[in-house]
């Protein structure tokens, strides 16, 4: 526990500095991270976790902020996680945080963090899951996870929130329309944002058409219209999320989501940890030599990885 100890109490009290530091620990793979997670683990499971996904330009950030404001009026504490895999290019996440903080903050009941971990494969998904847990432990009632909705990591993230809202807008291009067809599977709710634009009826008709083709699963995703910029329709979306939550709690939905999430976390951490151990055993000189042999076309990648692993086996009985 040692390293995690000083962080634990302020974190459980919901102090922002402790929360920010704990998230950095998780993202950076700080040695204290596992102990901290172990200490938090028994206290988790209180928060409502909502995903908002959709193409760039759909107005997800604005909608997220409006949802947060409405929940604040009920006295609820809200955590916002903006998952942005494009930011590795730009460092844009941090800038984005500052801008948004200015819009909502200073409010001790809203914590905003952008996640754009570059590095280990699956690292973004893992860091997001850790951040959800930290916010949950810190007493945040709702956690809103906003993603651009493409990329493997993001698919993973939205597949295990409690309620996934797919945000669409009328009149975007063909590729975005094509994307819609696929999004049925993850949508618990549809939000047609910028609903004061032309084409909203057509978009709603298309969604209803897709729903009828989907043969009706156990939950029929409702469709809401919003104009997030003006705050229109936001209360109805919150109500819809609550109804979906109630439905989840009635059946085996929550247990299913928990299993999916557990699997995802296990897989992501397993990959990180096996790679970490393999590299530690082999040392960086052998790693660089293996990569150089591939670049020089002396060895193909499959063979290079095989010999890298076979030449530094794990000591038995560890």
**Packing angle of the helix pair 234-250, 60-73 (nearest 10 deg):** 80
Is residue 168 within 8 A of residue 180, CB to CB? The reply is: yes
Q: Is 9 in the site for a second copy (CB under 8 A)?
A: no
Q: Is 277 in the site for a second copy (CB under 8 A)?
A: yes
Closer residue to a second copy in complex, CB, 82/237 = 82
Q: How far is the CB of 73 from a second copy (least distance, A)?
A: 27
Q: Is 214 in the site for a second copy (CB under 8 A)?
A: no
Residue whose pair of structure tokens reads 């409006």 in the numeric block: 66
Q: How far is the CB of 37 from a second copy (least distance, A)?
A: 5
* Residue 190: strand, helix, or coil: strand
Q: How far is the CB of 15 from a second copy (least distance, A)?
A: 22
Q: Is 152 in the site for a second copy (CB under 8 A)?
A: yes
Q: Is 302 in the site for a second copy (CB under 8 A)?
A: yes
Q: How far is the CB of 295 from a second copy (least distance, A)?
A: 4
Positive or negative: CA dihedral 39, 26, 71, 251: negative
Exactly one of 179, 214, 219, 231 binds a second copy (CB under 8 A); that residue is: 179
Q: Is 310 in the site for a second copy (CB under 8 A)?
A: yes
Give the count of residues interacting with a second copy (CB under 8 A).
93
Structure tokens at 123: 């690292």
Distance in Å from the first CA to the final CA of the chain? 22
Q: Is 34 in the site for a second copy (CB under 8 A)?
A: yes
Exactly one of 20, 56, 108, 209 binds a second copy (CB under 8 A); that residue is: 56
Q: For 186, phi and psi rounded to 5 degrees?
A: -95, -10
Closer residue to a second copy in complex, CB, 22/238 = 22
* Stretch touching a second copy by CB under 8 A, among 4-12, 68-76, 235-243, 310-318: 310-318
Closer residue to a second copy in complex, CB, 166/238 = 166
* Residues paired with 144 in a beta bridge: 50, 80
Q: Is 92 in the site for a second copy (CB under 8 A)?
A: yes
How far from 252 is each of 41, 137, 203, 264, CA to CA, in Å? 22, 24, 32, 19
Exactly one of 79, 149, 240, 245 binds a second copy (CB under 8 A); that residue is: 149
CA dist., res. 258 & res. 58, Å (int): 29
State CA 248 to chain mean position distance.
20
Phi-psi region of 251 (alpha: psi -120 to 50; beta: other; left: phi over 0): beta
- Encoded one letter per residue, x for contact with a second copy by CB under 8 A and - for no contact, window 227-266 reads ----------------------------x--xx-xxx-xx
Closer residue to a second copy in complex, CB, 56/209 = 56
Please give the DSSP secondary-structure letter assigned to residue 54. Answer: -
Structure tokens at 194: 């910028």
Q: How far is the CB of 204 from a second copy (least distance, A)?
A: 20
Task: Examine residue 277 and say whether the peptide bond preceding it is cis (omega within 30 degrees of 0).
Answer: no
Q: Is 209 in the site for a second copy (CB under 8 A)?
A: no
């Amino acid at each position: 526990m040692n390293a995690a100890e000083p962080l634990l109490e302020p974190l459980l009290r919901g102090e922002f500095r402790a929360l920010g530091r704990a998230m950095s620990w998780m993202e950076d793979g700080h040695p204290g991270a596992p102990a901290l997670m172990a200490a938090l683990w028994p206290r988790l499971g209180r928060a409502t976790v909502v995903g908002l996904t959709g193409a760039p330009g759909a107005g997800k950030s604005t909608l997220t902020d409006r949802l947060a404001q409405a929940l604040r009026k009920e006295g609820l504490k809200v955590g916002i996680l903006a998952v942005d895999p494009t930011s590795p290019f730009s460092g844009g996440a941090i800038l984005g945080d500052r801008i948004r903080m200015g819009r909502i903050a200073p409010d001790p009941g809203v914590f905003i963090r952008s996640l754009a971990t570059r590095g280990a494969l699956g690292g973004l998904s893992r860091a997001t899951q850790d951040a959800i847990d930290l916010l949950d432990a810190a007493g945040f009632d709702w956690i809103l996870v906003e993603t651009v909705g493409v990329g493997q990591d993001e698919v993973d993230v939205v597949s295990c929130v409690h309620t996934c809202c797919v945000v669409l807008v009328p009149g975007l291009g063909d590729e975005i329309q094509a994307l819609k067809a696929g999004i049925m599977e993850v949508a618990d709710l549809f939000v047609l944002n910028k609903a004061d634009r032309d084409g909203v009826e057509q978009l709603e008709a298309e969604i209803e058409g897709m729903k009828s083709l989907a043969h009706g699963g156990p939950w029929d995703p409702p469709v809401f219209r919003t104009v997030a910029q003006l705050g229109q329709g936001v209360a109805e979306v919150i109500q819809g999320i609550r109804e979906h939550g109630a439905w989840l709690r009635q059946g085996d939905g929550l247990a299913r989501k928990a299993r999916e999430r557990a699997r995802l976390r296990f897989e992501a951490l397993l990959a990180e940890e096996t790679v970490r151990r393999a590299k530690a055993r082999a040392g960086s000189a052998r790693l660089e030599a293996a990569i150089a042999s591939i670049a020089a076309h002396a060895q193909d990648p499959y063979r290079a990885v095989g010999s890298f692993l076979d030449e530094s086996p794990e000591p038995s009985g560890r």
